[in-house]
Amino acid sequence: MTRLHAIEIGDGPTRLVFLHGVFGQGKNFGNIAKLLAEQASSVLLDLPNHGHSPRTEDFDYDLFADLVADELRYRNAENEPITLVGHSMGGKVAMRVALRHPDLLDRLVVMDISPVSRGDQSEFAYLIGALLSLDLEQLASRKQADEALASKIRNLGVRSFLLQNLHRSTSGGWQWLANLELLGTSIDKLVDWPAIDGQWSGPVLWLRGANSTHVQPADELIMQAYFPAVELVTVEDAGHWIHAEQPQAIATAISEFISRN
């Protein structure tokens, strides 16, 4: 079995598992997991090709869903179903876990993503290209990397988030935790939603950022077809990175959701 890297936070009775978005790591949900620590025991997974989890030869949402399902079974989800929380790419993986392995989930939380294909690949392609433009062999410090990227990625928050992927290897050199080469050649798959049959009838909390364009009005009927018990909640003053921009609001929404009978 391929194990995924995990961080565990909290000791509450509800079991939560978090799946991050592209370029992310499980630790991105650390603040929310700490806010929920008395109510939930949270597992923050690094998805394949990200963080400290293994890399794969292909980008395949169903493969990733199956690897997450293996991890959930290792954690006894067959006997004690969990609440699965996914943001963006991780939200797509989470939805496919629910559809492919319905017995492992008690509840589902999807953050600012829809089960649809999005045609615009330009942002991801640009960011991957910018990161790959860094000459890691000539890189002396993280500060130097930040300065080199400042003209290409002007938003400090985005740049800082992406640079969390820059890691010192055991030999002392720099390397990317995210598999940028695979992501760069798989952007069409990243923004896709491959055809899948089925329906999951458990409770679903669907969170969207008020300032985000990732969830469109036309997506609601598609979401309801897969998840008839879905509830859409808009998080004010938040864009796509809702868990980073509004951690307290997200923690409160999840807390209320998992408290219901």
Q: Which one from 87, 214, 240, 243 is the annotated catalytic residue?
A: 240
Q: Would you call 88 a catalytic residue per the annotation?
A: yes
- Catalytic residue of the set 41, 42, 53, 88: 88
Pairing of the two strands 105-111 and 166-168: unpaired
- Answer yes or no: 52 catalytic: no
Contact 245, 239 (CB under 8 A): yes
51: three-class secondary structure by DSSP: coil
Catalytic residue among 147, 181, 231, 256: 181
Q: What's the angle, vertex CA 77, arms to CA 198 and CA 113, rounded to 5?
A: 50
**Strands, sheet with 204-209, edge to edge from the N-terminal-most edge strand:** 6-9, 40-45, 14-19, 82-87, 105-111, 204-209, 230-235
Quote the Cα angle for 53-59-60, to 5°.
100
Active site residues: 88, 181, 240
